[in-house]
Structure 1
Amino acid sequence: MAEAAPSEIDIAVIGGGIVGICVAAHLAEAARSVTMIDRTGICEETSSGNAAALAFSDILPLAHKGMLASVPKWLADPLGPLSIPPGYLPKLAPWLYRFWRAGSPKKFEASLAAQASLMKLAESAWMGLMERSGTRPMLHEDGSLELYQGEAEFRASLAGWAARDRFGIDYRHLAWDEIAAYQPGLSDSFSAATFVPGWKTVSDPKEFGKAIWSYAESKGATFVRGDVGLVLPRGENTTVQLRQGRTLMARHVVIAAGAWSHLLARQLGEKIPLETERGYNTTLPSGAFDIKRQLIFSGHGFVITPLATGIRVGGAVELGGITRPPNFQRSKAMLAKAKRFLPGLKTEGGREWMGFRPSLPDSLPVIGRSRGHANIFYAFGHGHLGLTQSAATGSMIRDLVLARDPSIDLSPFSAQRF
């Protein structure tokens, strides 16, 4: 029996998370024919369970001085904000070395400036896309409240806020007697806080992502369920082979497959040092507590977010790759802390979850063309800022596909920087 001829398509977007969704939406708006490919569905994996934040003020690279100083203390606690399974450490060592080097003053300043420029674009790109897609009612503009236990923890945060001053980010430090007005019911262990009025959240990240996809569909985007096993350039086109047996022939390919993206880039001859921040959370029923806005417990590495679908308690980082089984003791540890910090919190009936955040050592994503393949584009590696930066990424990939100049300098986000 003769083998079926490959299906010919214009643009294949590999990955149905929020970054791929925004890429598809922007290209579909430009009247391009877009086919989304994902193994499970639209916004069903990591993008479904994030903390729902549009964190436009979160411009500090993870390798900033304050975090590096805390790493030894955190690693001593297997259920703390940062964990590395001992068996994974040898494989992780080269990435950790790059991460350490990213904290040098010169590299830090370059990453900070690049992140600030991307965040400025991200905010305008999201506001525009929400207006055009009719999803603005899903946006909550309540700000965030970052909480500190003790003077030392507050003082350690000041260098980061000073860095934000240079980019015009608005915030207000609160004394202990002002905190209750922003979030009643907190324990009295918090001596100071910082309110960030420009911080935003969405009503539920999974519902929000699906709503953006519905808009992309209304502009002509289509979906194919499949697990991409091979990306093979062939002249001016690229073969996309699905593990299920189907073959697509695409004129343009966008790799937006999150924590799996570097495996596809490796097929193209590019070694990109992507690691996986495995994030955990528990989503409690909506009546668990009256949360006024996203609460950030920076010293403990987690947040609490009010959603339309419940109260989400999650965060922390486990650098453990994509194959190890989840350790839901980490979810339970955060939930226990949340109960201490909000004594009235009802912790029954929660749903535990783990997702994979694609992370690069300098905290900047990869956005741009593949080396040597002008019609293959990268859009991945956003770490814990995928939702925040996805609309900006989508707009820039659109510009590259249409041979326009992107809105900001893309050289800091090039895959070739490594």
Structure 2
Amino acid sequence: MQEQKTVVVIGGGIVGLSCAFFARRAGYRVRVIDPDVQDRRASFGNAGILAVCETLPLATPALVRELPSLLLSPDSPLRLRWRYLPALLPWLVRFVRASAPSASLRSTLALNSILTTALDAHLELATACSATQLLVPTGWIKAYQSEQSYLSQSAERSTLADWGVAMRPLGRAELDALAPGFHGVFAKATLFSDCQQVKNPGQYVRRIAQGCAEQGVEFIQDTVRNFRFSGNRVTGAQMTDRAIDGDVFVIACGAWSKRLAAEIGEKVPLDTERGYHVMLDASDRTLLQSPLFWHEKSVVFSQLDSGLRMTSSVEFAGLNAPPRYRSIDRTLAAAKRLVPTLAGLPVESRWLGFRPSMPDSIPVIGRSTRQSNCFLAFGHGHLGLTLGPQTGRLIAKAIQGAQTEIDLAPFSPSRFSMRRSNDAAAA
């Protein structure tokens, strides 16, 4: 019987918790192993946007052409610590390959398939975990200081419209009503109306964890070092001082997943985009009704229950380098010069987190091709919060051997080795 089988989920962020919740709902005994470092999770520190409009992958020919200048500019939102370049180079090569038209189309198809019902998965999970009040249908504003900047994104908007993404232009009066703290700053804007906002991402994750515990999920505060094997199956997860046995294992520990995936024979090109945020004290005023992406500065402002959050600065430097807040501090200072209402807001805190990113923008979701009782659920990049519950539903069905409504082949951990084989055959 399913109740007798134990699913061990490695990772307690939004993806791991979602896998645990839906596996438990399917009747399995579930254990979650996580060191419980709450403020290092990407889902803790993001802008709280359920960005179901993000159907297009990050790798595009235009971005690839801009990469050298982006990496060399001191004011760029994309930074690389040059000592990390040798480690990152294979990822960058795959990123460039992923920008090819055929590869980009594959990524877009995959993203579109999984984003379409992502909000349904959030509602299902949030309802069960008493967290629906944290979900607000705000939409997401992408705003431009000039007509020229707005027109520069016309092709992207047209492509998104072709894929069925809901959007509409905002007039100046409507924009000022949705973003009163930024009155007069922007000339043009687009509202992506289907997006929602999580008003307190940290609390949302805690509610889901509490809901899992109430359903009988067991939590173990520890770190998995390696696995124990028997044949082509994993039999246990070795932690610091003990091992946990299980029947099924799910690797869902975000940017820390690559090493454990390699332990079971899956070589995946996972790296981390280090993301920064600054929290401003705006508890006594409403500056934004909807989260806002500022195109020219490549930052997101999001008014949360805890204040105004500004997220910015993608940095490639691995998991161990210390944080550098200089870039995001410069960006905030520049924003304050243009937005008087920001000038008087004190900085409450700064944060660094780690986004687990695949070069083709497609997460790894599905059964391992190396160990039959292992499943992988990581690599969601900027869409971890958006796709966490959806991923959990899919993993639970895959564990059961049930047919999923979404084709998981594009998300398979084997897709990179398969592509190498296809390329060699074509040559």
The normalised TM-score by structure 2 is 0.91
User: For residue 391 of structure 2, what is the amino acid of its counterpart?
Assistant: T
1:78 is displaced (CA, Å) by: 3.0
> How big is each residue's C-alpha offset from its partner over 1:38-57, in whole Å with a ceiling of 9 and x where there is no partner?
11256763221111111111
Tell me the CA shift for residue 94 of structure 1. 1.4
Residue 4 of structure 1 corresponds to which residue in structure 2? none
Letter in 1 for 2:259: L
- Find out whether 1:80 has 2:73 as its counterpart: no
The alpha carbon displacement at 1:152 in A equals: 2.9
Q: Which piece of structure 1 moves more, 38-47 or 26-35?
A: 38-47
SS in 2 for 1:373: coil
Q: Which residue of 2 aligns with 1:270?
A: 266
The CA distance in 2 between the partners of 1:124 and 1:353, in whole Å, is 30
* Aligned partner (choices 130, 135, 138) of residue 131 of structure 2: 135
Deviation at 1:249, TM superposition (A): 1.3
CA–CA distance in 1 between the matches of 2:119 and 2:192?
15
Q: CA deviation at 1:9?
A: 7.3
> How much has 1:191 moved relative to structure 2?
1.9
For residues 83-119 of structure 1, the C-alpha deviation after alignment (integer angstroms, 9 at most, x for no partner) is 1111112221111111111111111111111101110
Structure 2 Cα separation of the partners of residues 289 and 340 of structure 1 = 19
The CA distance in 1 between the partners of 2:135 and 2:331, in whole Å, is 26
RMSD: 1.9
Q: Which residue of 1 aligns with 2:64?
A: 68
Q: Please tell me whether the aligned partners of residues 234 and 374 of structure 2 are also in contact (alpha carbons under 8 angstroms).
A: no
- 2:27 is matched with 31
* Corresponding residue number in structure 2 for 1:369: 367
In 1, distance between residues paired with 2:75 and 2:5?
A: 46
User: Which amino acid counterpart does residue 380 of structure 2 have in structure 1?
Assistant: H
Residue 5 (structure 1) aligns with: none
Distance 1:175 1:36, change over 3 A: same
Residues 204-250 of structure 1: per-residue CA shift (max 9 Å, x gap) = 111001101111111110100111110233245422111x2111111
Contact 2:185 2:339 in 1 (8 A): no
Q: Which moved more, 1:154-163 or 1:106-115?
A: 154-163
Q: How many Å separate the matches in 1 of 2:276 and 2:341?
A: 22
Match of 1:334 among 286, 308, 331: 331
| Contact 1:239 1:247 survives alignment (8 Å) | yes
Q: Is the 8 A contact 2:178 2:288 kept in 1?
A: no
Instruction: Tell whether the 8 Å contact from 1:277 to 1:319 is kept in structure 2 after alignment.
Output: yes
1:121 Cα offset (Å)? 2.5
Identity among equivalent positions (%) equals 36
Q: For residue 243 of structure 2, what is the amino acid of its counterpart? A: T
**Pair 1:248 & 2:244 matched:** yes
Of residues 30, 45, 52 in structure 2, which corresponds to 1:56?
52
State the secondary structure of the residue aligned to 2:116.
Answer: helix
2:213 is the counterpart of 1:217: yes
Q: Which moved more, 1:340-349 or 1:380-389?
A: 340-349
User: Is 2:352 the partner of 1:354?
Assistant: yes
- Return the alpha-carbon distance in structure 1 between the equivalents of residues 234 and 316 of structure 2: 36
In 1: Cα distance, 2:57 partner to 2:216 partner: 37
CA contact (8 A) 1:289 1:344 kept: no
Match runs of 1:87-236 below 5 Å:
87-176=83-172, 178-186=174-182, 188-235=184-231, 236=233
Q: Are 1:43 and 1:209, in contact at CA under 8 Å, matched by a contact in 2?
A: no
Residue deviations 1:267-299 (CA, integer Å, cap 9, x gap): 112211111100000112223652221010133
Deviations 1:19-76 (A, max 9, x none): 0011111111122111000112567632211111111111110112443344333223
Q: Distance in 2 between matches of 1:219 and 1:226?
A: 21
Paired with 2:335 and 2:245, the residues of 1 have a C-alpha distance of 50
Structure 2 SS opposite 1:227: coil
The CA deviation at 1:399 is 0.3
| One-letter amino acid of the structure 2 residue matched with residue 203 of structure 1 | K
After alignment, is 285-294 or 191-200 more displaced? 285-294
1:142 shift after superposition: 1.2
2:9 to 5, 10, 13: 13
2: distance between equivalents of 1:91 and 1:408?
33
Question: What's the secondary structure of 1:323's corresponding residue?
Answer: coil
State the Cα distance separating 1:190 from its structure 2 match: 2.3
Contact 2:272/2:356 (<8 A) preserved = yes
Deviations 1:312-338 (A, max 9, x none): 111331111111111111331232233
Following TM superposition, where does structure 1 have runs of at least 4 consecutive aligned residues deviating by more than 4 angstroms? 41-44, 175-178
298, 317, 321: which one pairs with 2:318?
321
- 2:395: which partner in 1? 397
Structure 2 equivalent of residue 3 of structure 1: none
Which residue of 381, 400, 403 corresponds with 1:383? 381
Q: Which residue of 1 aligns with 2:299?
A: 302
Residue 411 of structure 1 is aligned with which of 399, 409, 412?
Answer: 409
Distance 1:93 1:182 in 2: 42
Q: Per the alignment, in what secondary structure is the counterpart of residue 405 of structure 2?
A: coil
Partners of 1:61 and 1:112 within 8 A in 2: yes
- When normalised by structure 1's length, the TM-score is 0.93
Unaligned runs of 5+ in 2: 417-427
SS at match of 1:228: coil
- Of residues 308, 313, 316, the one that matches 1:311 is 308
Separation (CA, whole Å) in 2 of partners of 1:72 and 1:293? 33
Q: Which moved more, 1:98-107 or 1:8-17?
A: 8-17
CA 1:350–1:300: 2 relative to 1, 3 Å = same
Q: Distance in 1 between matches of 2:174 and 2:199?
A: 27
From the superposition, tell whether residues 350 and 296 of structure 1 become closer, same or farther in structure 2 (CA, over 3 Å): same
Query: Partners of 1:114 and 1:316 in 2: how far apart?
Result: 26
